[in-house]
Structure formats: structure tokens, C-alpha cells
Structure 1
């Protein structure tokens, strides 16, 4: 498996089945062009089989944190560690960007998401929130004014 940070909208559009709806070319390029917006694709034998998106948020009193916004893996490739690998890579990117944590919200009844985020090391609040704590706040990851 190969995980790549994507900067070209054509790569996202070619992997459209990984998203809830078909990615729109204009929105895709705007997302990729924005500082602090991240999209990673996982490839197996040259086929995009998984994706994760993350968005950095800068707070005046906290520093930068990463929201794990969306995660998807093709049904035939699930339960192979692809989702965990994507989460780990986004977490590494968040640490490099100076984020103090990364978090994701789930629907309480989504057992698959809960198990995925638990296996990827997220700390669960027992309701809807998973957090990966990276330590103290820093402005190293500040991406916009």
C-alpha cells in the first residue's frame, strides 16, 4: 500500500467512489489549494482504495489542531489496516504541522467508525468524540493570517 498526499484535483476526481458524492472539480481544487487542508489517498496496486481528509484549525488561545474530517475505504479493502494507516499518516502530518491534537466526531451508533478510531489509537469519550493528543500548543503549524 502506498499513501500519498494529494495536490492535483485529477487524482481526487479519479478516486470519486471513495467519497459520499462525486467530488466537484472546482471545490476539489479549492480544497487542495487552501493552506491547512489535507487529502491523502491510499493506493493498492495503483488503485485508490482509501482516503482521509483533514483540516487545520487555528485558535487564538490554543494553537493549531487537526480535524479528521472524512475517512473512507472501498468495501472490498476494509479490515486490512488501510483506515488505520491513513489515520496514522494524517496524525503524523498534524504533528509536523505543530498541531496539539487531532479529533473526529462520529455518530454514536456507528460501530464501524468507533472500532476503527479505537484501533487507530484515538481516545474515546464514550459518546461521539475521538481525540489524539500530541502535547502542548505551538504556533509552528499556523498556516494563515
Structure 2
């Protein structure tokens, strides 16, 4: 397994089987053009994108810069092999290299595989929180 930073729209689109929905080229291009956005893809020996992790740097006047682990996904046929853990550790290493002072992730409290993966990489439970969202029509 090799983990590489995605730098082209083609790489992001080729990994769309790992996303919640189909990739859109214009969104992929915007992602790549946005400073602080990062996607790492794990490739099998034959070049298949087996998993990804995405992160977004967030900066605040009293917190400095932190990395938000936005999403982690591993192809079902490649799970339970350490890919999720390796991707998480690679994102944390990239966050350190970028000067981030911390990293965080929001996780559903009943998502046992995700919780186990993040805890295996040293994440500490900071308590339960509610996540609220807004749909913003075009």
C-alpha cells in the first residue's frame, strides 16, 4: 500500500467509489485549488485507490491552525488491514509538517470501526457534541 497526496482532478475522480456520491470535476478542481485542503489516497500495488483521508486546515485567532480530519473511507474489500490507521497517521504527519497545533475529527458515537481507528492512532475522547447543519440552496 502506498499513500500519496492527490494533486489532480483525475486522481480525485478515480477515487469516487470511496465517496458518499459521485465526484464532480468542478468541485474536485476547487478542492485542489483551496489552500489548506488535503487528500491522501492509499493505492494498492496495482494502482487501485483503496482508501482516502481528507483534511482541512482551520485557523482561528486563539487556537492557531488545526487540522480537521474531514472524511476517511476505505474500500470494503480492503478493510481490516490497517489502511484507515495508516491514512489517519499520514494526515497527522502532514498536519505536523504544515505547522498545525492539533487535529480533530467528528465521529458518530455508534461508529465503532471509526472510533477504534482514531483511538488506535492516539486520539483522545473530548466528549459528546451535537452536529447541526444547514442546506444552502443554490
Under a length normalisation based on structure 1, what TM-score does the superposition of the two structures give?
Answer: 0.85
1:125 CA displacement? 2.7
- Secondary structure of 1:105's aligned partner: coil
Q: Deviations over 1:86-107 (max 9, x none)?
A: 0111001100111010100111
**Structure 2 gap ranges (5+):** 130-138
Partner of 1:5: 5
Kept in 2: contact 1:7–1:33 (CA 8 A):
no
CA distance in 2, matches of 1:62, 1:123: 18
How far 1:120 moved relative to its partner? 1.7
Alpha-carbon RMSD across the aligned residues, in angstroms, is 1.4
Q: Please list, as runs of the form range in 1=range in 2, the aligned pairs for 1:19-34 lying within 5 A after superposition.
A: 19-34=19-34
Structure 1 residue runs of 5 or longer lacking an equivalent are: 129-145
Match of 2:44 in 1: 44
Q: Give CA deviations for 1:30-80 in whole Å, capped at 9, x if unaligned.
A: 001111000010001211000000000011122100000000000010010
Counterpart in the other structure of 1:80: 81
Distance 1:54 1:27 in 2: 15
Aligned length: 129
**How far does the alpha carbon of each residue in 1:4-48 deviate from its partner, in whole angstroms, 9 at most, with x for none?**
001101011011101111111100110011110000100012110
Alignment partners' CA distance in 2, 1:24 and 1:13: 7
Contact kept in structure 2, 1:64 and 1:98, CA below 8 Å: yes
Task: Give the drift of 1:127.
Answer: 3.2
TM-score by length of structure 2 reads 0.89
Deviations 1:93-137 (A, max 9, x none): 100111010100111111111111111211123536xxxxxxxxx
Any idea what SS the aligned residue of 1:71 has?
Answer: strand
Partner of 1:92: 93
Are 1:17 and 2:4 counterparts? no
2-structure distance, mates of 1:97, 1:25: 26
